[in-house]
Amino acid sequence: MAKAEKNIILGVTASVAIYKSCELIRRLKECGFAVTVVLTKEAEELISPVLFQSLSGRRVYRAGIFDEPDRQSQEIEHISLAQKADLILIAPATANIIAKLAGGICDDLLTCTVCASSTKVLIAPAMNENMYNNKITQSNIRKLKACGYKFIAPAKGLLACGKLGVGCLAEVETIVKEAKKNLKDGY
């Protein structure tokens, strides 16, 4: 009997590093993972869902939890996504999504999916260095780590603001390696 492929929900938020999500999808698929993208509303302002659908070969789920449901299915999207996920990977993760998750705020499809899931959550932050080092952001990260969420530290590099600092999305290979490790480690 063939081994079932692992399902990764890739949450994509509105960071300048969003373009790296395209390469991330390609690499995860090369590793044999099924990748389903969930975009935040703000992410859609930066990149078209059609691109992610083409790369993943799957339907892209978008922002609203109360959008018109898929006519083919009467599933509750965030519950269905949560149940099918072997891993939820949020890359890039903004300070906003980290704060929402730490506060238990479920006001979009991605946050509701994370809240409804009992699977591992892996978060790769990408933001300005001052935002990343902000005491509130760091407190939110510690809170999520205490709840079992895993983080991939951002890298030092040239930030969107033109300054050198910590806040760049980790390299795609690093994220893929961590995703594989978290899928192998079990639950």
Active site residues: 161
CA 137 to CA 153: how far, in whole Å?
13
Closest CA to 115 of 80, 79, 142, 85: 79
Helix ranges, 31-152 (H): 41-44, 49-56, 77-84, 95-103, 109-116, 129-133, 135-146
